Chain A
Amino acid sequence: MKKIFLYLSTVLTLGLTSCEEVIEYELRTADTKLVVEGLITNQPGPYQVRLSTTKGYLDQGRTPGVNGALVIVSDNRGIADTLQQVSEGLYQTSKLQGQPGNTYYLRAVVDGKEYTAQSFMPAVSPIDSLTFVYKQSSNENDNGYHPYLHFSDPAGKGNYYRWNVFVNGKLDPDELAIFNDELYDGKSGSVDMQFGLKEGDRIKVELYSLNKPGYEFWLALANQQNASGGPFETTPANAPSNISGGAIGFFGASAVSVAEGVAK
């Protein structure tokens, strides 16, 4: 009799535990869409616009570039630049020079369909300095020299930022961070970039200014990076594009401030 209870309680415990199983699940592949990745900065040109298309989620391989498109970028001062294709899906400006305070317009014609976008370039405050503090972190991968970014936010709310991090000359797309000045308006201070470097690592940080639509787009990308698709997470959403005509992606204009340092 005792054994029966033991057996029953074992079965009950097993039965109450949730399990995972690999299954076949058929996904419709959505209609292929044009993807626009374009950025005008205040750094010396040329600037690039990349056109590609989406792929099925479970399909293998890289997404294909779009060739032979007409791509024109112009600004609110009347300068128009027809971009030259330099490699698969990649188009480059020849005379445009980005400047904070200007608005930039994109016009792309792909297979007779027209796509347009516009973006205002906000100014960015220059990075004062980059310092390092050795830290132990709860996540072992983040142990090491944490870079701290020192800069001042200009007075007035509505400043949006993102950064790109290059470690030893290579872009690290996982260290994408998006933030605003909602809490720090007008202050100067430092931000822990929250990842660890080894001693002697060279790091380059690019701080980009964003307008509000840009902030929302990048924030959605950052959230998608952090989502794992578990059962208790919020419903995922697509990043809001600023391209009209049914394309996805973003055409942005950002002022950039750059700082470099060696972890020690």
Chain B
Amino acid sequence: MPGINNGNPYPLRHDRRHSGNLVLSYQFSPSINFGASWTYATGGAITMPVGRYEYNGKTYPVYSERNGYRLPDYHRLDLSATYEKPKSEFKKYSSSWNLSLYNAYARKNAFSIYFRESEDDRNKTEAVKTYLFGIIPALTYNFNF
């Protein structure tokens, strides 16, 4: 796009260079099933300050190329266990319990990164990441008729 990044191409904020999913399912017994799913993706593209300069008595940043930096890689593991009640011949419905863990190893996947003055040392600038979801357990009851 002319006028942005000097007319050079640049990656989008939500660009995923590499991404992959790994899914495992294990039927432990006729009524119990375990599942695992691992998701991996390259971090999104962001613009970062790469230098600074002084002008009119104040310090201003020099920015990288537009979206020239990457957030850390994104990955998480989801686990689930399902218990299905054996079907009884007299009943017309089936039901199951499902316990799942989203982001089982509680990876703090970065949503954004910004810089701020360190609170301990005013002369130091530190990077701060914002992350959204830690580990989330969920219990589900399914009922079919």
Contact = CB atoms under 8 A, between A and B. Distances in A.
Interface of A: 8, 11-12, 14-16, 18-25, 27-30, 32-33, 35, 37, 52-58, 60, 62-63, 164, 171, 173-174, 176, 221, 224-225, 228-231, 235-239, 248-250
B55 interface: yes
Given A18-B131, A57-B115, A231-B112, A237 B63 contact: yes
A8 B47 contact: no
Contacts of A29: 50-51
A236 B133 contact: no
Nearest to A61: B123
Contacts of B18: none
Contacts of B52: 54-57, 63
B127 A25 contact: yes
Given A228-B114, A239-B60, A19 B131 contact: yes
B35 interface: no
Given A54-B52, A57-B49, A18 B111 contact: yes
B135 A35 contact: no
- Most B-side CB within 10 Å, residue of A21, A57, A221, A224: A57
- Most B-side CB within 10 Å, residue of A16, A25, A35: A25
A30 B60 contact: no
A163 B127 CA distance: 33
Contact of B129 (A23, A52, A62, A171): A23
B127 to A, nearest CB: 4
Contacts of A37: 54-56
Contacts of B128: 20-23
23 contacts: A11-B135, A11-B136, A14-B134, A15-B102, A18-B131, A19-B130, A21-B131, A22-B126, A30-B64, A37-B54, A56-B50, A56-B51, A57-B48, A58-B125, A60-B123, A60-B124, A171-B57, A174-B58, A221-B56, A231-B112, A248-B53, A248-B62, A249-B55
B113 interface: yes
Given A27-B48, A27-B49, A249-B53, A19 B58 contact: no
A230 B114 contact: yes
A52 B47 CA distance: 24
B41 to A, nearest CB: 18
Contact of B51 (A22, A30, A60, A250): A30
B42 interface: no
B139 interface: yes
A174 B52 CA distance: 17
A20 B48 CA distance: 18
A221 B56 CA distance: 10
Nearest to B113: A25
Contact of B66 (A164, A176, A235): A235
A224 B125 CA distance: 17
B108 interface: yes
Nearest to B67: A235
Contacts of B113: 23, 25
Contacts of B129: 20-21, 23, 25
A201 B57 CA distance: 21
B132 interface: yes
B51 A33 contact: yes
B126 A54 contact: no
A241 to B, nearest CB: 11
A18 B113 CA distance: 13
Contacts of B110: 23
Given A20-B129, A52-B53, 15 more contacts: A15-B133, A15-B134, A15-B135, A18-B111, A23-B127, A23-B128, A23-B129, A28-B50, A57-B50, A57-B125, A58-B125, A221-B56, A235-B47, A235-B67, A236-B63
